[in-house]
Structure 1
């Protein structure tokens, strides 16, 4: 008997999958416990519409993340560090970088999404990788300049 799973069922499948199970297992266990329903034409068409809507939602979210990536990569953050005798004093933390991103460009990124969690202490151009959703990685440019 073909059934549509309403919840994940161990050894059979995940939610919204169509699986073939024995008639007794479906009638005596899956259907009474509301783990599955019989796969009729009407239910199959409803499932198709539901899966299509979910896929459109995922595609929309992925486009938003791609837009965020291009927005992050288009900007350069500038910071200043005190320098005396070619030695820098202080550092720039990830929370400072996140605050500046939010303040200047209205980009809200959690500091835990950065690949390396080290503070920036060197002068020059730094490339920081940010892990976004859907395994998309954006590269943020941070320019650190010396201030006397």
Structure 2
């Protein structure tokens, strides 16, 4: 029996796959647990329409992320930090502080978890912080660190 998987099923396939399974496995395991649908022409057509819609939504999200990247890379965020003798800084600037500064100065609500800062910023000057906006789009935010 041909079955369209509604969920990922271990050792069988991923969501949306059309697989061939025994009648008993389909009736006793997949259908009662809502893991699959019978592969009728209507269900196959619905699957095609759903995939087309998901592709369209994914393309729109990618385009929006690329547009936001272009806008974000023209901006900069200024953050201040206490500095002692010999230009030595007290503490560091983390992604949480960068996200707050971006919201306050630019009005962008950027998730701190999407900022890919390898280590906290501990020196004065300009730093580019990579921000993952989409799996295929990474923007760089210019961060200027000044003395408080």
Residues 81, 7 of structure 1: alpha-carbon distance in 2 compared, 3 angstrom cutoff: closer
Distance 2:81 2:115 in 1: 21
For the 8 Å contact 1:91–1:119, the answer to whether it is kept is: no
Q: State the alpha-carbon separation in 1 of the partners of residues 28 and 16 from structure 2.
A: 20
Q: What is the rounded CA distance, in whole Å, between the counterparts of 2:22 and 2:122 in structure 1?
A: 65
Q: TM-score, normalised by structure 2?
A: 0.78
Maintained 8 Å contact 1:81/1:88: no
CA distance in 1, matches of 2:125, 2:34: 61
Greater Rg over alpha carbons, structure: 1
Other structure's SS at 1:132 match: strand
- Residues 144 and 19 of structure 1: is their aligned pair in 2 closer, same or farther, counting only changes over 3 Å? same
- Which stretches in structure 2 are left out of the alignment for 5+ residues? none
Output the CA distance in 2 between the equivalents of 1:99 and 1:59: 29
Cα distance in 2 between the residues matched to 1:38 and 1:85: 73
Specify the alignment match of 2:30 in structure 1. Answer: 30
Q: Distance in 2 between matches of 1:26 and 1:133?
A: 37
Q: Distance in 2 between matches of 1:108 and 1:96?
A: 12
When the two chains are superposed, the root-mean-square deviation of aligned CA atoms in Å is: 2.6
- Give the C-alpha shift of residue 86 in structure 1: 4.7
Unaligned runs of 5+ in 1: none
SS of residue in 1 equivalent to 2:135: helix
Q: Does 1:131 align with 2:132?
A: yes
Give the alignment's TM-score, normalised by structure 1.
Answer: 0.78
| Structure 1 residues 105 and 27: CA distance shift in structure 2, 3 A | same
Q: In structure 2, how many angstroms separate the alpha carbons of the residues matched to 1:133 and 1:42?
A: 34
Structure 1 residue 146, shift from structure 2 partner: 4.6
Q: 1:90 to 1:19 in 2, by over 3 A?
A: same
Displacement of 1:115: 2.1
Q: How far 1:13 sits from its partner (Å)?
A: 1.0
